[in-house]
């Protein structure tokens, strides 16, 4: 298991970590790459990384989807916990001949939901 460090710069932010994840993969690997976020107010997703407007739209939409209810959690970041559970703590990507097999337009994004912070992402190949 390899640990990647991600420094986020905003309260909510999508950080493209595709290259950092790819460096973990050995040239002989074949199987599945597991990318895991050990935080409860962040997530990891796969989506388009060609047009940066897509990531901006996603962040705006995640914020807009949070229901306007009264949350009990004293830290005041229940919205971040909510979107973390909806987006998910891990993604899995096929690996063949030592390369990540993402689709043409796909990249791997760390999703900061309660930053800015210094975060970890754990990567392993099965």
39 Cα distance to chain centroid: 11
Q: How far is the CB of 4 from a second copy (least distance, A)?
A: 13
Q: Which residues contact 49 (CB under 8 A, 6 or more apart)?
A: 16, 18, 55, 105, 106, 107, 109
Contact between 89 and 43 under an 8 Å Cβ cutoff? The reply is yes
Binding positions for a second copy, rule: CB under 8 A: 1, 31-32, 34, 36-40, 45-48, 51, 53-54, 56-58, 60-61, 64-67, 69, 71-75, 78, 81-82, 84-94, 96, 101-106, 120, 122, 124, 126
User: How far apart are CB 101 and a second copy at their closest, in Å?
Assistant: 7
Q: Please, which residue, 85 or 116, has the CB nearer to a second copy?
A: 85
- Residue 85 C-beta: closest distance to a second copy, Å: 4
Q: Least distance in Å: CB of 87 to a second copy?
A: 6
Instruction: In whole angstroms, give the CA distance from residue 23 to residue 6.
Output: 14
Query: Which of 57, 116 has the CB closer to a second copy?
Result: 57
Do the Cβ atoms of 42 and 119 come closer than 8 Å?
yes
């Amino acid at each position: 298991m390899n640990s990647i460090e991600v420094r986020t710069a905003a309260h909510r932010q999508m950080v493209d970590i595709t290259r950092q994840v790819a460096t973990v993969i050995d040239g002989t690997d074949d199987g599945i790459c597991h990318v895991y976020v050990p935080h409860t107010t962040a997530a990891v997703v796969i989506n388009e990384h060609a047009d940066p407007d897509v990531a901006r739209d996603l962040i705006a939409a995640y914020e807009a989807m949070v229901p306007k209810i009264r949350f009990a959690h004293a830290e005041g970041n229940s919205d971040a916990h909510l979107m973390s559970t909806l987006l998910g703590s891990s993604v899995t990507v096929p690996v063949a001949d030592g390369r990540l097999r993402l689709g043409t337009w796909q990249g791997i994004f760390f999703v900061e939901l309660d930053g800015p912070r210094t975060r970890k992402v754990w990567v392993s190949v099965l």
